[in-house]
A and B are shown apart, each in its own frame.
Chain A
Amino acid sequence: MFVKLIHLLSEGKTYSLQELSCKLGVSKETLRGYIDYLSEKDLLSQVDFEQEENACTGNCAGCKGCAGRKTFKNAPTLWEFKRSESESSLDL
């Protein structure tokens, strides 16, 4: 199941946890375990939309109320599978 996850991610598609849970036949918690492991090994990294304090361009006069938000409320959490790094350590 774990190795199957790697194969799925190497295909370059996007999967929701729900989908993966169904496809691999494992619980979401187990999946989180896989995600933890891959994150530790730097094969998976969380996409951080809040990298900086604010995306303000400093132009308050021209700014609109919601400007500068890089992401929206209750946004999904994204993890990216690092293809190039994994290619060296994997032979897929």
Chain B
Amino acid sequence: MSNILIKEPTIALLGQPNSGKSTLFNALTGARQRVGNWPGKTVEKKEGYYDKDGVRFRVADLPGSYSLSANSEEEIITRDFIASGQADVVCILADSSQLSRSLFMLADYVGIQCPAILLLNLMDVAEAQGKTVDAAKLEEKLGIPVIPFVAADKKHYDKFFDAIDRALKEKKLLNIGSLTDKYNSIGGGAYEKLLELMPQDGIGNYSASWLATKLLEEDKAVLELIEENLPQEAYKGVKSVLSSVENGVLETAGYKFKWIDELLKDALVYKERKIALSKFDSLATHKTWGKPLAILIILLGLIASFIPATPFMLVGSLVPKLGGPISAALSAIGAPQIIIDFITQVVLVSIYSVISMIGFVFGVNLVFGFLEEVGYMARVSYVFDRTMNKFGLQGKSVMPMVVSFGCTIGGAAGTRVIDSWGQKVLTIAMAWAIPCAATWAIVPVLSSLFFGAWAPLVIVAIFFVAGIHLFITGKLFGAKLIRDEDRAGLIMELPPYHKPKWGALFRSIFVRTGDILSRAFRVVFIVAFIFWLLTYSASGSPEQTLLYKFGQKIEPITMFFGFTWQTFLAYISSMVSKEAALGVLGALYLGGGSLFSATLGSGGAMAAGLDSALLSSLTAPAALAFIFAVSFNAPCLVAISSTYQETRSIKWTLRILLYYFVTSILLAFLVFRIAGLFF
């Protein structure tokens, strides 16, 4: 079978990383391999051998490299080895499931004067994807053996061995005409001129055409090689031709890709599977309709969270009614009044607040978790990418913005990928205007307490005001932060739509909801406790407490903007954490410190619930003003600290903080006055 004249033929394995070289190498050599280092390099060298039909074949596993340029150590080692003539045949591996990508190595091999074979490896993966490759057609075009292959399948290597035999016997080189002809189109006939200047037989295994191509690609190593091997005159000629070439690298690459395309046009048959929801996707990514659709879906998502929320709010409202029975039971066993008050006014209020939140936290997380899981949030990023440009931001700023919809802290952290400091700060400044999940949980609770069934409308209003706020903030801060910078082009690969894994989705939402609620309970409890203490009076007349007196003093000022002193304090506390606002409201309106409870007695106040307490203490405009103020205040203390961490600027963190403080009070004022005209 083998009339191989070479005593111990050497096979070199060439290919991009992940083309299966190691699998093949290990399958061929097994234990008969040696691992070391290429002389003077840190790159691993693997050599081995296998015996077949009485002949010993040496195998060298060349480092995985993208092509035969000289950009990395791996590529230089690979090239030098091939040039040296140590290999008798080069076995080029390609990933059949990604031929357009993996054949680039083959394109770069064109012009190497060493016999080769092409292994279309990972054929099983390609077939599973619905691809079929006509190896015979490729062989006809390329002039070298082309073998469909599955390196992992050790039992079917016979075609491989045959191909090696053939290559060693026939010594066929890769056909170059179809590619090198294209180079003639390069401006000024540069390719042909270079060809003439090259040594006719090339240098070692590098043919004249390969050298000429590499020179066009500004390959420094080849240029040096040419300088060493050519007479001065010829070298000068080479340099002068090259000086007139523009974009040689990209042009030759373009022709290589074209060559690959032509090869595959006849030889590769691919029945591309239609992606699910492709019609929906064309709407979702539409230039004109994509944005309105996204806005609609998000709004619907927010309103949909009211559905699971309502039963919880109803259950929650029952909790305060336990106040009466509990206080009666506790007094019966002789518990001190302060403990009874503590339990009914702080503990019950906290539980009530948190239960009211559950539905919204769950609902918001469910809806947006679903959109994420399905892959729609990626479309949202894509569609609002261009909007970023209007503020002088790069497209990738859209990612932190989308994340901020869930949590501003994540959004701030996400700006780490933004290189320009000015753009980073602007992105964060704008992200604060986007209400986070905490807002989307707390605000519906507040709106429901006061406006009942009209609450969803309040949410819609907040959504649109957020959009306007975002725009104005972007323009104001942008004027100071953005310099005219070149915009970087961006390619976005949208993931395919996924069928949601409901089980995993629900599980993660339950966990997340649980986490959020336990944290919220702690915050609400502590805040409620503090404010309760500050307004507690055993005699039942809160007017004597310090906080109450303080509140009365500031009320004239706060009322101008639409706040009662209680809602003002709740608003301030929302800067620490949004749920704190609930705690403060509960403590100040339901606790012993409120006139409301003083009139009804604490049991009566609790039984009536926070909604009645608010209804009788706040006018609709004041309630709206409060809700808007809380929504557009600083997100929370941790967000403020992450803003500082990311911007590394106290000045800008304080500026942003002050801006949001002022604008939220201004918004409250506007809402209060405008709503006052209608209610």
Are both chains from one complex? yes
Residues of A participating in the B interface, judged by any CB pair closer than 8 Å: 1-3, 6, 8-18, 20, 26-27, 29-30, 32-37, 40-41, 44, 47-49, 51-52, 55, 57, 59, 61-84, 89-92
CB distance from A24 to the nearest CB of B (A): 11
Indicate if the CB atoms of A1 and B492 lie closer than 8 Å. Answer: no
Indicate if the CB atoms of B409 and A91 lie closer than 8 Å. Answer: no
Indicate if the CB atoms of A62 and B638 lie closer than 8 Å. Answer: yes
In the complex, chain B residues whose CB is within 8 Å of the CB of A8: 489
* Known contacts A66-B410, A76-B378; is-contact A37 B489 (Cβ 8 Å): no
Closest residue to B516 on the A side, CB-wise?
Answer: A65
Indicate if the CB atoms of A29 and B100 lie closer than 8 Å. Answer: yes
In the complex, chain A residues whose CB is within 8 Å of the CB of B402: 72
Known contacts A40-B67, A68-B413, A74-B498, then 16 further A-B pairs from the complex at CB < 8 Å, ordered by chain A residue: A30-B261, A33-B98, A37-B104, A57-B641, A62-B637, A63-B519, A63-B638, A64-B409, A68-B407, A70-B403, A70-B414, A74-B375, A74-B495, A75-B381, A83-B488, A91-B246
In the complex, chain A residues whose CB is within 8 Å of the CB of B495: 74-77
B373 within 8 A of A: yes
Partner of B101, one of A29, A52, A91: A29
Main secondary structure of the interface of B (DSSP, over half): helix
Partner of A17, one of B386, B491, B642: B491
In the complex, chain A residues whose CB is within 8 Å of the CB of B513: 65
B247 within 8 A of A: yes
Closest residue to A4 on the B side, CB-wise?
Answer: B254
B382 within 8 A of A: yes
In the complex, chain B residues whose CB is within 8 Å of the CB of A48: 417
Indicate if the CB atoms of A49 and B414 lie closer than 8 Å. Answer: yes
Q: Number of B residues contacting the other chain (C-beta, 8 Å)?
A: 75
Indicate if the CB atoms of B490 and A80 lie closer than 8 Å. Answer: yes
In the complex, chain B residues whose CB is within 8 Å of the CB of A92: 247
A-B contact pairs, 18 of them (CB 8 A): A1-B254, A12-B488, A14-B395, A14-B490, A14-B491, A18-B494, A33-B98, A55-B410, A65-B515, A67-B407, A70-B414, A72-B402, A74-B373, A74-B374, A74-B375, A79-B493, A81-B491, A90-B250
Q: How far, in whole Å, are A75 and B377 apart by their CA atoms in the complex?
A: 7
Q: Contact string, B237-273, partner A, CB cutoff 8 A, digits 1/0?
A: 0000000001101110110011011000000001010
Partner of A80, one of B414, B488, B637: B488
B71 within 8 A of A: yes
In the complex, chain A residues whose CB is within 8 Å of the CB of B406: 66, 69, 72
Indicate if the CB atoms of B257 and A74 lie closer than 8 Å. Answer: no
CB distance from A43 to the nearest CB of B (A): 9
In the complex, chain B residues whose CB is within 8 Å of the CB of A1: 254, 257-258
Indicate if the CB atoms of A33 and B260 lie closer than 8 Å. Answer: yes
Q: How far, in whole Å, are A2 and B99 apart by their CA atoms in the complex?
A: 17
In the complex, chain B residues whose CB is within 8 Å of the CB of A6: 250
Partner of B410, one of A18, A51, A70, A90: A70
Q: How far, in whole Å, are A90 and B637 apart by their CA atoms in the complex?
A: 47
Indicate if the CB atoms of B488 and A89 lie closer than 8 Å. Answer: no
